[in-house]
Amino acid sequence: MNASASSISHGHAGDASHGDHGDHGHGHITLQYQPGLPLSRGKLIMWLFLSTEIMFFAALLGSYVVLRFGAPVWPKPHHVHLSEPIGAFNTFVLICSSVTIVLALEAARVNKAGLAKNWMLLTLLLGGLFLGIKGYEYSAKFSHGIYPSAPRSRIYERPDLYYGSAVRGRLEELRREPKDAWQAMKYKWAVAWHRSPQAASLHGWKEPETVDRLKELDEMPEAALTAEQLDSRRKLQQIQKMVSSPDQQAFDMAVVADQVMPLPSEGAAGAAGSGHGGGHGSHGLNDAFPWLRLPTVIPGGNMWASTYFLLTGFHAVHVAVGLLVFAIMLTWKLNAKRAGAIENAGLYWHFVDLVWIFLFPLLYLF
Amino acid sequence: MSDHGTHSHGPVTRVGESADEALHHAIEESHGSHEEHAGHGGIGKYMLVFLALCGLTTMSFFTYSAAWPWRDQPQVGWAFMMAVSCTKAMLVILFFMHVWWEANWKYVLTIPAAMMAIFLAIMLIPDIGMRNRMVSQERALYMARGSDVQLLERASKESPLAEPAGH
């Protein structure tokens, strides 16, 4: 009604100047409503919101592209354990969910509330699947020490002496003796766990501490280890020697880095789909003994991690908000009266899909 | 709803119509145009768009496969994928977001936002994109280099640690 109030003066002016509304000209005010844009308020506001979202994601994507092409080195997707097939599957999931929300809207428009609810439920499930896959991908990054920032991130840019000293520091940390009774008790349980996991799990211990594992690993008889673990233990011992000597060349640190987490070469990744695979075996020490959590070298990896987690994180937050909206809507009766609301939620959801359409090739395939 | 005239011009404000009526007409009209077009768009059209989107996703995924002929020229793949992505985006915007069937207000909202988005990205180039053209010696020391990648890849091919200990 604000519009009618503001048009009062206009109506008056019109009447006074040419007075051609003869039939109700007895001091009546003729109201003229001039709608700004020919669409409902909800939809107008949704589109205004989406235009701010366009700029928001344009800034994020633009920064990513500009950072990526301005960087001296940028990691290949397989250097940072990105799986293209998983990304493509997630794209497919999101496209499917876009279709289902459109079908929910169509069903609601013809007043088929039950059908609309089913489609919306399917959309909710597909969105949940997307987030689940995303969470799985995140955990794969975390397990390789790829985090967006310093305390947890184990990414080093170059295989230089700083990297060498970080590896040495970590190994020393692992070698430290149990300090107090609590640590000693944990050590005891660790040994118990190794001999009989069932016995240890009875006492609530799931996995022994890394400190004790390293000690144990050195003392373990060869027969107790698999061939791969035996090989990894030998490498670990050689690396310990290598990083302890103070005058190491940069090339040797590249050898260390390669043993900790190999950087697959371009040729190896070209063989479709394998994802991993350097010149030698595909596994590094961090794969054979994940509890070692040794620092790794990924040239350009820090900037990559920052942009990857920021972009996919903001996108995931948008997905989560969409799912919340759908969950609320599922409690409604989705008939023709609600079609406008479903349309607005759908517009938002398509926008989230749209962002992923650009994120997928930029992050996974470039 | 047929007496409302052409839909593409939006609602016609009638002289002497009350504000409530006009608002009612305006909303009805914008909704009415949907229903009419959904009639000859409909679920079949959505399915067609869905298939096109799946096909396009497969096409961009194709650049990752070994069969992609321009492996040594990544720029070809980038251009191809951006073209595919823009096509997909247009399909989603035009059909799923119903923009194809909307009145001219769509330009008022989308074009300024799109222009702002493009300018925003361009403005990042000098400060962010070119930040590594001139760097201090200290920074260059700690910065990753292309040669590091070659170093790591060579280490992975001829690693002394890869030999068994007995040799």
Residues of B in contact with A350 (CB under 8 A): 92-93, 96-97
Residues of chain A where predicted confidence (pLDDT) is lower than 70? 1-27, 35, 176-215, 246, 248, 265-282
Contact A30, A14 (CB under 8 A): yes
Q: Hey, what are A223's tokens?
A: 């027969």
CB A33 within 8 A of CB B22: yes
Contact A239 B161 (CB under 8 A): yes
* pLDDT of res. A188: 61
For range B40-63, the mean pLDDT: 87
The mean pLDDT of B123-145, rounded to a whole number, is 86
Residue A136: how many CB atoms within 10 A of its CB? 11
Contact A357 B31 (CB under 8 A): no
Burial class (CB in 10 A: 0-12, 13-18, 19+), B142: exposed
Query: Which tokens go with A233?
Result: 């233990």
Q: pTM here?
A: 0.77
pLDDT of amino acid B2: 39
Reported ipTM: the value is 0.74
Residue A297 β-bridge partners: A156
Contact status of A278 with chain B (Cβ, < 8 Å): yes
Distance between CA atoms of B155 and B134, rounded to whole angstroms? 30
pLDDT at B95 over 70: yes
Locate all alpha helices (DSSP H) within chain A, ordered by sequence: 2-6, 8-17, 41-70, 84-109, 113-143, 161-175, 181-195, 197-202, 210-219, 227-244, 250-260, 266-270, 285-288, 301-329, 339-360
Distance from CA of A183 to the nearest CA of B (A): 34
CA dist A82 → A108, B7, B115 (Å): 39, 48, 32
CB A261 within 8 A of CB A144: yes
Classify residue A115 by burial, with Cβ atoms within 10 Å: 0-12, 13-18, 19+: middle
Window 156-195 of A: residues touching B by CB (8 A cutoff) are: 157-159, 162
pLDDT band at B133 (very low <50, low <70, confident <90, very high): confident
Residues 6+ apart with CB under 8 A from B52: B91
Please count the CA atoms within 13 angstroms of the CA of A246 that sit on its side-chain side.
Answer: 0
Q: Do B120 and A33 touch (CB under 8 A)?
A: no
DSSP A279: S
Angle B127-B143-A292 from CA coordinates, rounded to 5°: 130
